[in-house]
Amino acid sequence: MKASIIAGGRFVLTDLIKRELESSDYIIAADSGLDYLLDNNIKVDIIVGDFDSMSERAKKISEEKKDSILVFPKEKDYTDSYIAIKYAIDKGYKDIRLFGFVGSRLDHTLNNILFLDYLNNLGVKAEIIDENNKAFVLEGKISINKECLGNFNYISVIPTVSEISLTSEGLKYDVENLLLSPLKNQGRGISNELKEKNASISIKGRGGLIVYSKD
């Protein structure tokens, strides 16, 4: 069972995002994320947030869906994005896609990216996806090929919470047991590419952020 959350950051309905939303069992709008769903005629199951940033049109729709909204005060301890994530977890979803989680506010964007570590620690599979990136946390090993990457060209590994050991095979710049640390980050894991038809990445440690991206 997969849930998708749409927040108020940047949102472009690419083919990938459309497929992800169509295959989702439950769709949550976090505040102004509802505007994106309305713009693209995508059905929403629940609307959460303080409703301080959505359009008047979205507010009117929300009022009509009183059985499908959770309103929170503007002065609160948690962001709308976290409230939506917590709601999905409480509903029992272990596979969550996050859209509109990257935007012009760097503080919100960084905080949202760190949600991936939070969710991984809870045993929840989660990905942040936008028109240029897909990001997720890896502990262990994954296989990668062109089908996995889709339209993305680059593969980056970034330590987020602790030192990790990175080993790769089949990439343009392969490494073996390369130590990466958020405290000594030198950009060693950035902008790798596929060299072979099939490749793999192995991470030992917690907090290995994998980013597939394109310019």
User: Residue 51 is part of which domain span?
Assistant: 2-131
Give the whole-number percent of the chain exceeding pLDDT 70.
Answer: 87
Q: Clarify whether residues 97 and 141 are in a common domain.
A: no
- Using 50, 70 and 90 to split pLDDT, how confident is the model at 49? confident
CA 156 to chain centre: 15
pLDDT of residue 60: 66
The tally of domains found in the chain comes to: 2
- The confidence score (pLDDT) of residue 53 equals 63
Q: What is the pLDDT of residue 62?
A: 64
Instruction: Give the per-residue pLDDT at 204.
Output: 95
| pLDDT, average across residues 23-44 | 91
pLDDT of residue 192 exceeding 60, the answer is yes
Which one is predicted more confidently, 112 or 68?
112
Using one digit for the tens of pLDDT, what is the confidence trace for 84-98? 999 999 999 999 999
Q: Which of 76, 106, 131 is the last residue of a domain?
A: 131
Q: Are residues 22 and 114 in the same domain?
A: yes
Query: Higher-confidence residue: 57 or 176?
Result: 176
Tell me the CATH number at 27.
Answer: 3.40.50.10240
Query: Quick one: 10 and 44 in the same domain?
Result: yes
**Could you tell me the pLDDT band of residue 71, with boundaries at 50, 70 and 90?**
low
Using CB atoms within 10 Å of the CB of residue 144, give its burial: 0 to 12 exposed, 13 to 18 middle, 19+ buried.
buried
What are the pLDDT digits (tens) for 74-86? 556 788 899 999 9
For residue 213, the tally of other CB atoms under 10 A from its CB is 17
Direct distance between the N- and C-terminal alpha carbons of the chain, in angstroms, rounded to an integer: 32
Which of 131, 158, 192 represents a domain boundary (last residue)? 131
| 19 and 108 belong to one structural domain | yes
Residues 160 and 71 in one domain: no
Residues 15 and 115 in one domain: yes
Q: Are residues 21 and 120 in the same domain?
A: yes
Q: Is there a single domain that holds both residue 141 and residue 179? A: yes
Nearest to 149 by CA among 166, 171, 165, 164: 171
Mean of the per-residue pLDDT values for the chain? 90
Looking at the fold, whether 80 and 107 belong to one and the same domain comes out as: yes
Give percent of the chain above pLDDT 90. Answer: 70
- Together in a domain, 112 and 141: no
pLDDT at 78: 82
Of 101, 49, 106, 58, the residue nearest 78 (C-alpha): 49
- H-run or E-run covering 61: helix 56-64
29 and 48 housed in the same domain: yes
Does residue 42 share a domain with residue 16? yes
Q: Which residue has the tokens 């509802």?
A: 34
The domain boundary, picked from 81, 98, 131, lies at 131
